[in-house]
Amino acid sequence: MIKVLFVCLGNICRSPMAEAVLRKLLTNEGLEDKVIVDSAGIGHWHIGKVPHAGTRNILDTNQIAYDGMTARQVENSDWDRFDYIIAMDQQNMADLNGIREKNDVEIKLFMDFVNEESAKDVPDPYFTGNFDYVYELIYTGCKNLLEEIKQTKLKEEL
């Protein structure tokens, strides 16, 4: 099993959107049993809450399920459980590096999977309100991440 964790600040806008989109792409390709997807937040403010209305709205529009998803905070056990820990922006990455335990997992930036040279952050729609643009970035990034997983970690099996 390959395990992917997306991390943002509140775990109600960007990282749950990425979780739902990647899971949908995996299901489309019949790979849902090979890759586990989860998301978490740096902050504790929204623990237990469903995704933000803007995220639910764009997922509904694109017929992507998010049933049962609720916010949680990054926890110590995450460091040993995931093959990929992917931060939605540079501040999330800095925060993760500040709390990380000693381990080998490499934290990546989500925008590394989106071919936009200049941008390093998925802008936070909690503040910008632009869920449509964030969805575009997340869809592209998840497609590219899945390709990478298929060509590296799942190479022997496919």
Query: Which residues are catalytic, by number?
Result: 8, 14, 124
Q: Would you say 10 or 141 has its CB closer to ligand 4NP?
A: 10
Bridge partner residues of 86 (DSSP): 6, 108
Instruction: Give the H/E segment covering residue 80.
Output: helix 78-81
* Contact (CB, 8 A) for 91 and 112: no
Interface positions with ligand 4NP (CB under 6 A): 8-14, 45, 124, 126
Distance between CA atoms of residues 145 and 23, nearest Å:
12
Q: Would you say 17 or 31 has its CB closer to ligand 4NP?
A: 17
Tokens of 62: 């694109």
Name the E strands within 31-158. Answer: 35-41, 84-87, 107-109
- Give phi and psi for 41, each to the nearest 5: -115, 155
| Smallest distance from ligand 4NP to CB 7, Å | 9
| Smallest distance from ligand 4NP to CB 151, Å | 28
Q: Would you say 13 or 137 has its CB closer to ligand 4NP?
A: 13
Q: Which residue is nearest to ligand 4NP (CB)?
A: 10
| Smallest distance from ligand 4NP to CB 16, Å | 7
